Structure 1
């Protein structure tokens, strides 16, 4: 559930050098993701938290923003700087940002 205290950024305001953490599941990732994103599915998040980049803040994305908001809440509670990407990968695609498939090939959604 969304909490008003979750830091959020609109896709249009996402910095070009943002470190993107994609928390979608493997099948969603395989279907298309941001080329520079780090993938740690929400279902494995706590077990794989040591794999997170040291970047501050982390920009967290999922399909529409619900799961990523939960991850941001968790990270903020752990003392990390994290921001939810509002609208998730649907907003990413709608804004015309590039995606790559699981084999690394670029495509337009």
Structure 2
């Protein structure tokens, strides 16, 4: 039997003002990320729950696997969270804005 369905949203449907949580590793973040997103690597999320805004969270990783696990965890903690389907690859494909650290051209690592 599959796991309980993880709430998901298409990258194109994430509101521009939505609270985006990027759970990728530092090198992935540096290569290309969403300006204004909160960066907390997946393994640090439980220890850093207090840093999360108290609103619906849009959780993203590279392709959607890690973020789906984080969404399951956050929902179990009573938080409203949705997985960005397809991750940063889908974000990039949808033409959504990204930035690289230090002004470098952004790409998905």
Q: Which runs of 5+ in 2 are unaligned?
A: none
Task: Give the corresponding residue for 2:50.
Answer: 50
Matches within 5 A, 1:1-109: 3-55=3-55, 57-103=56-102, 105=103, 107=105, 109=107
Q: Which contiguous aligned blocks of 4+ residues in structure 1 show a shift greater than 4 angstroms? A: none
**TM-superposition CA deviations, 1:39-68 (whole Å, max 9, x none):** 00002111112111122x100000000000
Q: Deviations over 1:15-59 (max 9, x none)?
A: 22211000001110010100010000002111112111122x100
Native 8 Å contact 1:99 1:106 kept in 2: no
TM-score, normalised to structure 2's length?
0.88
TM-score, normalised relative to structure 1 = 0.88
Q: Unaligned stretches of 5+ in structure 1? A: none
